[in-house]
Amino acid sequence: MTEATTAAPVEKSELEKRFPDAVKADARPGYAGFLVDTSKLIEVATALRDEMGYDYLSSVTAVDYYSDAPNAENFIEVVYHFYKSTGGGALELKVQTPRENSTVPSLTPLYAGADFQEREAYDLYGVNFEGHPDQRRILMWEGFAGYPMRKDWKEAYFEEEVKPFKNRWPEGQVYRIEDRNPFNKNNAYPQGFDPTGFKETDDPKLYEVLEKAAREYSEDIDTEQVVVNLGPQHPSTHGVFRMAVRLDGETIVALKPVMGYLHRNHEKIGERNTWTMNMPFTDRLDYLSSMSNNFGYALAVEKLMGDKAAPPERAEYIRVIMAELTRISNHLWAIGFLLNDLGAFFTPALYAIVERELILDIFEATTGSRMMCNYFRFGGVARDLPEGVLEKIKSLVTERLPRKIDELDIYLSENELVRSRSEGIGVITPEEAIAFSTAGPVLRASGVPYDVRRADPYSIYDRFKFDVTVRQHGDVYDRYMIRIDEMRQSLQILNQALKDLPGGEIMNGKNPYQVRVPAGESYGRVEGPKGELGFYIVSNGKGNPARYHVRAPSFINLTVLEKMCVGQKVADVVVNLGSIDIVLGEVDR
Amino acid sequence: MYGLGILKGMWVTLTHFIDSYVEDIKWLGRNRYYSKEGIQHRRSKDTKGIFTVQYPEEKLPVPEEFRFVPFLVYDVDEEGNKHDRCTSCGICAKVCPPQCIWIVRTEDPVTKRPVPEPVDFFIDVDICMNCGYCAEYCPFDAIKMDHDYEMASFDRHAEHIFNKEKLSKPASYYAGIRPTNYNREETLKAEEAAKKAAAAAAKAAAAAAKPADGAAAGSTPAQ
Amino acid sequence: MTETNPTVNSAGYEVPPELRQNVAITTLDKIWNMGRRYSVWPMMFGLACCAIEMICTAASRYDLARFGMEVMRPSPRQSDLMIVSGTVTKKMIPQIVRLYNQMPEPKYVLAMGACASGGGPFKEGYNVVSGVDQYVPVDVYVPGCPPTPQALLHGLMKLQEKIDSESITQVRWYGKEDIPAIPVPLLGPDLIDPRDNELIKQETSKKPAAPAAAPAAPAPAAEAAS
């Protein structure tokens, strides 16, 4: 793996020299980065951002180091990954805090992109971020009992600490788990809880925050404002996503995204699964581009496993081919539905879906499933391309797709109605795009030429010639156009990869059903179709990950939605949302 | 000129509209619908015009690797007796990501040794995620992914935990839906059996003085 | 109308051959059901991965319009069929129940995929409802993860079969009694189904040693101490 998790030694000493008593290198075996004193975190982060060029906060997450052994050292660690928006490897900071009354200073005032990620850590781990402007639960609801990602928190359907469960084999007494719950449901309540006359607390709190935000927006004029909820059941929210909008006439004065309606506990389940088992679950993150998710997870684990899991040449090429095909099929879908939101009712989506279906045929023939490919393995891919598939890919890539992408471009790119509806809407400046940690097309449409494939190359992307597409205006139209540009670049990569595709093995060694992953941490990131998709994993040498975190691009891109929409008309909300291209499986996980 | 972009776009729609008629005229006398070559054409790179597959009258053929719910493979010997390939080793249950496989093992009442064939085998299809791991990691080629996707039902509580009886299908069915895989596996098995037989024969020749019953047991092909 | 339309022509009444092009003798049930089965309007309601396959089913390759089902209504008030396409979470189930209550009779529910049927691969998760049928009645279950568009079409044909089997004299929505609305679950310390209130009270007032199968969710304060 070419990607380096650690920073260059120059910076290392620089940071340690500058803060000799606050920063020390993380010396645990398999770990990298720096441990920072909690009280000095803001100071260190400010220096990183303003003086050392680490202006892009990619990922914030918490890890629960917990063991019920008598003298175990239990604490919660908050992990930050910083990057330079000019490219290069990560700088990793960690702060540790006790499990009781966990408190860490919030980085949201410095890096706006930390907002949702800190809320998520608060929601799932109970870490209190001091100074966070709006610390509410994000994936679960206000009033939910407990912090579910903590290791000692057990769900109602808890069976065993880790998989595989003993009663599946050898005992084999078949049952439905709900039959073993007193309520016949996936529910458990705290001792002494009385449900009579219960009142929900989630929505009132949301409207309170909304009102506060509206006050901040305009305090002088006292007009009557309306709260409108778009979603969770709404045709333009691309799934079960909700936006609570406060309107003054037709102008948006405050907007708060509400998510979690598809929170399927991916990470909690992922920490119970064995390493191998997580692969099909990653398919269901961003279910429009499962191959990219596979790619990111495989990279992260392979990085920990070292050379014995380095995929052979042919596998690397197949991976790139599949990832780029995925990008095309994802962008086709995104464009089709963005235009749909713009009022071009369904025709562009139908045209785009035809091409997507043809790509799905390839996935189905290769992997066995249209959407849930589950194709990557640690050290290779699951199976070689079946007979005839390569020819089909070649014919699509060289003959059909370029023509069809052009057709889609001609179809609506110059349409005056589309342009007047999308130009100058939802503008994000480059500085904002970086500060809000946006990734992928959203970032590049704002004029920041940042593409993980180029900035921090992984797999064999350094061998291909392609342009990092950039557009300058940062509006909805540019976010639409950049996807068309990107599809063309993907075709270029595909052409090169198909030409050079070597023969040979597709797996490094055998494909065992249980892999051994040495203890340590790793962060694998790929440029997914939606942006930077990262997997942060911690191994303690056992059969399952101790921490499994997904840095979901659509989730973090949503941080900027409020910024995009406030001050504009309500009709533009759906367009702005469509231009971010979210997939709820990934937002909520 | 304002409006040119709109006209350009409408031209694209018009060509799509006209194409569907042109295609039908081109296929006059041949079956564009309800025929194998017609479906093949509609999913090829040259497809134009009507793209619809008229399910249920015609069905889009699934590729060999297609996976839906797993099934168990059994062999039928000359006398017509069924033998499960499954040895209830439990690898599928151990690797199953959502843990939807339950295997009931048993032991011989006399010898107290475990009987290889499972007494029963359950898959809860309401949990199964069709990932194909059980088929991929089964060392005995005993569990495979089915192609049958027409499984809608009115009641899940009675029908959706599949037992061994419902899951079992003959090896000939497997050979029918996945010929390439089946042939590859059979060739591998035959090679392995030949190798084993050769090794056993060599062993028997080397230890000619000893009785040959060990070699005989070794040369039985692996089931 | 062709003379061999099996869905309409009722057995038992012979129509003279010369009249078969023009006359069909049928029962009220059959003609009523035929009208309903070819105009099932699904609600445009996507939850998760399966929703993508549902959209593909409605798109040009599988073309739901051939079944008269292409009119996907975003509003529950105008739809007959709710395709629960994806994982049902605790946070979402109050909305699903509310939408179901808002649908006019006759209404049908199709659980698409493993998650909607019985929890699916995410069943063990703390925010996942194990099967939408714990809250709303389901008519047809389509297994698969996700079901391919053709599998969904097969499920919809099963639903048509079910519609065919109904009789206008026996259906519940023309009965005398009101059909009660399903109580909407609440988001408390965990999901609260108002129908379970008594049971919840009973269970939570038990001695702490009691919970064997389900360890009670620790309250934030209690958890920090544990």
Distance from CA of C70 to the nearest CA of A (A): 12
Q: Which CATH architecture has domain A9-130?
A: 2-Layer Sandwich (3.30)
Handedness of CA C13, C14, C15, C21 (dihedral sign): positive
Q: Cβ–Cβ of C208/A126 closer than 8 Å?
A: no
Phi/psi for C203 (5° steps) reads -70, -40
Please, which pLDDT band fits residue A320 given cuts at 50, 70 and 90?
A: very high
Q: Domain A266-588's class?
A: mainly alpha
Least Cα distance to A588 among C134, C186, C91, B99 occurs for C91
Shared-domain flag, residues B32 and B16: yes
All CATH 1.10.645.10 domain ranges in chain A, comma separated = 266-588
Q: Is the Cβ pair A200, C186 closer than 8 Å?
A: yes
Q: Which residues contact A165 (CB under 8 A, 6 or more apart)?
A: A159, B99
Query: Do B162 and B129 sit in the same domain of this protein?
Result: yes
Give span(s): CATH 3.40.50.12280, chain C: 49-158
How open is the CA angle A289-A292-A294, to the nearest 5 degrees? 110
Cα–Cα distances in Å, from C25 out to A463, C13, C30, C32, C160? 73, 7, 10, 13, 21
Whether B223 is in a domain gets the answer no
Is B13 part of a structural domain of the chain?
yes
Tell if the CB–CB gap between B131 and A374 is shorter than 8 Å.
yes
pLDDT band at A310; cut points 50, 70, 90: confident
Does C140 touch chain B if contact means CB atoms closer than 8 Å? yes
* pLDDT by position in tens, chain C (length 226): 444 455 566 666 777 778 777 777 778 888 888 888 888 999 888 888 888 999 899 888 898 888 888 888 888 899 999 999 889 999 999 999 999 999 988 899 999 989 898 888 998 888 999 889 889 999 999 998 889 999 999 999 999 989 988 888 888 888 888 888 899 998 888 888 888 888 888 888 876 654 444 444 444 444 444 3
Pairing of strands A75-83, A128-130: unpaired
The domain of B196 spans 185-218
| Residue among B53, B59, B130 whose CB faces C144 most closely | B130
Whether B156 and B78 map to the same domain: the answer is yes
Per-residue confidence band for A329, with pLDDT thresholds at 50, 70 and 90: very high
Residues of A in contact with B91 (CB under 8 A): 513
The mean of the pLDDT values for chain A is 87
Q: C118 vs B124: CB contact, 8 Å cut-off? A: yes
Q: Which of B48, B62, B126 to mutate against chain C (most C CBs within 10 Å)? A: B126
For testing the chain A interface, which of B6, B55, B94, B127 should be mutated: the one with the most A CBs within 10 Å? B94
- Determine, for residues A196 and C197 on separate chains, whether the beta-carbon distance falls below 8 Å: yes
Q: Give the domain-ending residue among B42, B61, B80.
A: B61
Same domain (yes/no): B6, B96: no
pLDDT single digits (tens) A449-502: 998 888 888 888 989 999 899 999 989 999 999 999 999 999 999 999 999 888
Q: Could you say which of B36, B61, B86 is where a domain stops?
A: B61
Contacting residues of A for C59, CB less than 8 Å apart? 349-350, 353-354, 357
Which has the closest alpha carbon to A437: A107, A155, A11? A107
**Does 3.30.460.80 match the CATH number of domain C49-158?**
no
- Enumerate long-range contacts of B212-217, CB under 8 Å, 24 or more apart: none
Both B142 and B161 in a single domain? Answer: yes
Q: Which residues of C touch A260 (CB under 8 A)?
A: 89, 91, 127
Q: Using a CB-CB distance cutoff of 8 angstroms, which residues of chain C are in contact with residue A193? A: 188-189, 200, 204
A76 Cα to chain C: minimum distance (Å): 12
Residues of chain C positioned with their CB less than 8 A from the CB of B68:
144, 148, 151
Instruction: List, for residues A98-130, the tens digit of each pLDDT value.
Output: 888 888 999 898 898 899 999 999 999 989 998
Task: Determine the 3-state secondary structure of A543 from DSSP.
Answer: coil
**Are residues B12 and B47 located together in one domain of the fold?**
yes
Residue B130 lies in a domain: yes
Least confident range of A28-42, A104-118, A514-528, C194-208: C194-208
Q: Which residues of B touch C (CB under 8 A)?
A: 51-56, 59-60, 62, 68-69, 97-98, 124-130, 149-156, 160
* Position B106 in a domain: yes
**How many domains does chain B fold into?**
3
DSSP sequence for A190-224: -TT---TT----HHHHHHHHHHHHHHHH--S----
DSSP helix/strand/coil, B148: coil
Quote the Cα angle for A87-A89-A94, to 5°.
Answer: 125
The residues facing A129 across adjacent strands are A104
